[in-house]
Chains A and B, each alone.
Chain A
Amino acid sequence: MTSDHHPLPLLRVDGLTLASDAHTIVKELTFTLRAGEMLGIVGESGSGKSMTAYAIAGLLPREVLVTSGSIMLDSRSLLSLSHAERRMLAGRRIGMVLQDRRSSFNPVRTIGSILIESIVRHRAMPTSEARALAMQALTGVRLLDSKLIDAYPHQLSGGQLQRAMIALARLNDPVLLIADEPTTALDPIVQLQILSLLRASAVDRGVVLITHDLHVAAAVCDQLIVMHRGECIEQGPARQVIDSPEHTYTRQWLASARLLSSGAPLLRSVSAL
């Protein structure tokens, strides 16, 4: 899969360190993302991958602080912005698909109303126009049923909700899309479709995919970062990291993953035919 390379990097993270009271959560993380590229940050739970995403989006919890490093989005330093400026920027230029599907949508509001509100907040336009835009956004993620725009979150399946979240994130045409564990608890077929949707989203923007599933990252990402206990232990083109991993941890992890995915059946039934 070829990607269109912008001459300048879209997102540049340099020496990012996150810490809270007791310990360091992310240690000196450095990477670059160009438009048209998809970057996968993989790691086990607790490796700091989600926190990295929150740091970029400006959604860090109060106890976690950026102790050093910088985050540049389109040559603008995100960390030097005021809280208000950061929020405005994040709303328009960064789209985030959060991990917990159910709690990302207000259960008492329809999908449509949430989408419309997001449109209207960033652009002045009459509600009817905003509604048309919302419908377009839903079609763009292949939620083709026209009734869905007036449906409530609990009426949608996991896969549909995930698509709606991607629609919401892409709504105001952000330059950066961050997806945190977008395929957990989804069936394989739906998972495939969601990943394909994210891959398609990478065409005119940069996408960061956070996952604990190596297969997911390998299937769609151009670049990979492997994180372990807050440190980036391996980094590079996805193909390279998977085919020839350098770090012991990566190799062990790949071996575990292979253990589960190797084709040969190891159990024979007692009454084998």
Chain B
Amino acid sequence: MSAVQEISDFSESQPVRWDIAVGCAVLGIALMLVVMSPWLVTERDQLMDLNDRLATPFAWPHVLGTDQLGRDVASRIVMGLRWSFATAVCSTLLAFAIGTVLGLVAARAGRASNFIRRLTALAQSFPVFVLAVSVVALVGNGFFAVSTVLGLATWPVFCRVVQAEAASLFTREYVLAAQMLQMSRARLYRKHILPGLVSSLSVLVPFHFADMLIAESALSFLGVGAPLGEATWGSMLQESRSYLWSAPWLMLFPAAAIVTLVIAANLLGDGLRRKLV
């Protein structure tokens, strides 16, 4: 059953799956934190306080402790969430946009289709990491650099799925019947093709989001992408390495944050897959 059908049949007593509920809840909370971050984390919270270095967590005012420069870990986690969430969302959207458009074009037979297929194979064979590191080395750090590179390196995933699904849709009798009505191409795509893609794409997006989270964390762990001083979970992990035994909370909290968000996204994706596909 298609996603659209599922959603519209919701009133017919379809219980919400626990994995979708948990995934949505966690991601929803994360989104709320991101939106409220200007109020939650003020300039002062991010200052270094060399008098209060490596304070242990679970004590007021530093609920998650402080790091080696006296910066409040909790605030940095929230700022890191902003960075990770934003880069993951932007890169996913970029990959989605490019991949879907190219996939739709490739679904119709023809020279364009062959060209796109080759392009996809080529793009997919590039090691994402090496590409990311090289591009950032050339272009410099920054939010746009990271998001763009990750988006440009991973669109083949969407392209392949969309191409396969759309090509299959064009062989379905109801699409043939719609074509026989001689409707405009826009209407055909709007009413018949795109709705048929919703299921697969709904499943792919959360998984891709999780992949982008991990990829970005790995990049900033290596010091690539985020500008110096920017609080990111990856860089926090990097800095925590010297204090693994003396101040384990410096590693544990960013790690837990990454893991929680990734698991939530994966749960959502998996739940949607079971429900829709």
Judged by CB atoms under 8 Å, the answer to whether A and B touch is no
Instruction: Enumerate chain A interface residues (CB-CB to B < 8 A).
Output: none
